[in-house]
Amino acid sequence: MAEQPIALRPPEHRVERRAVGLWALQSALGFGILAGLLAGAYLIFDSARSWLGPILLVGAIWGAVVTLVMPLWRYAVHRWEVTEDAVYAVTGWVVREWRVAPISRIQTVDTIRGPLEQALKLATLEVTTASSRGPIKVPGMDARVAAQVAAELARITQRTPGDAT
């Protein structure tokens, strides 16, 4: 009997709610640095104030809107699931990416925790496959859950015969 193909479907689990705070903080820091550089240039270069002022204003408004909207939108979109057959993920906020990777194609499983993620007890699960699209990344997972999922994927892939590469 032939195996059923793995279907692209909505994953079951949401990312951790604390991811909203992480994404808002990352956005605020990025836009804050940009606004600080523009404000510094505005104060230093008198001749550029006529065109730097509007850019600074638009940048500050855009940064505030993105910092308030983007984290909530990403939280509404991001999903993940791991089964005995595949890893499913939906990510993005402007462009959504739906990914499914059969277990037999998994090469490595990693958890990544930057400084802000560590402070918020979050992690990014990264599943590298034999795909030219690169790894499947699930940001905003609870750090303990990401470690458990990585261990579970290691267990599942060890007992999966052969590979599909």
Residue 87: CATH number of its domain: 2.30.29.210
For the cut 50, the answer to whether the pLDDT of residue 1 exceeds it is: no
Within a domain: residue 5?
no
The predicted model gives 73-77 an average pLDDT of 95
Query: Quick one: pLDDT band at residue 158, thresholds 50, 70, 90?
Result: confident
85 and 139 belong to one structural domain = yes
End-to-end CA distance of the chain: 22
- pLDDT per residue over 3-51, tens digit each? 566 667 789 999 999 999 999 999 999 999 999 999 999 999 999 999 9
97 and 68 belong to one structural domain = no
91 and 150 belong to one structural domain = yes
Q: Which of 164, 125, 123 has its CA nearest to residue 142?
A: 123
Question: What is the per-residue DSSP string for 2-42?
Answer: PPPPPPP---SEEPPTTHHHHHHHHHHHHHHHHHHHHHHHH
How far, in Å, CA of 26 to CA of 122, rounded? 13
Domain boundary among 74, 91, 109: 74
User: What's the pLDDT score for residue 34?
Assistant: 94
pTM: 0.85
CB of 79 within 8 A of CB of 10? Answer: yes
39 and 110 belong to one structural domain = no
User: What's the pLDDT score for residue 163?
Assistant: 54
Residue numbers of the domain that contains 48: 19-74
74: left (phi over 0), alpha (psi -120 to 50) or beta: alpha
Quick one: the chain helix, strand, coil %, rounded to 5? 50, 25, 25
How far, in Å, CA of 19 to CA of 124, rounded? 10
Within a domain: residue 105?
yes
86 and 66 belong to one structural domain = no
83 and 62 belong to one structural domain = no
Within a domain: residue 12?
no
Three-state secondary-structure class, residue 54: helix
- pLDDT per residue over 88-147, tens digit each? 999 988 899 999 888 888 999 999 999 999 999 999 999 998 878 889 999 999 999 999
Q: How far is CA 7 from the centre of its chain?
A: 22
Within a domain: residue 164?
no
35 and 107 belong to one structural domain = no
CB of 159 within 8 A of CB of 110? Answer: no
96 and 125 belong to one structural domain = yes
Q: How does strand 13-14 pair with strand 106-112? A: unpaired
For the cut 90, the answer to whether the pLDDT of residue 59 exceeds it is: yes
- Give how many domains the chain has, as a whole number: 2
154 and 83 belong to one structural domain = yes
| Secondary structure letter of residue 72 according to DSSP | H
84 and 70 belong to one structural domain = no
Query: Quick one: pLDDT band at residue 84, thresholds 50, 70, 90?
Result: confident
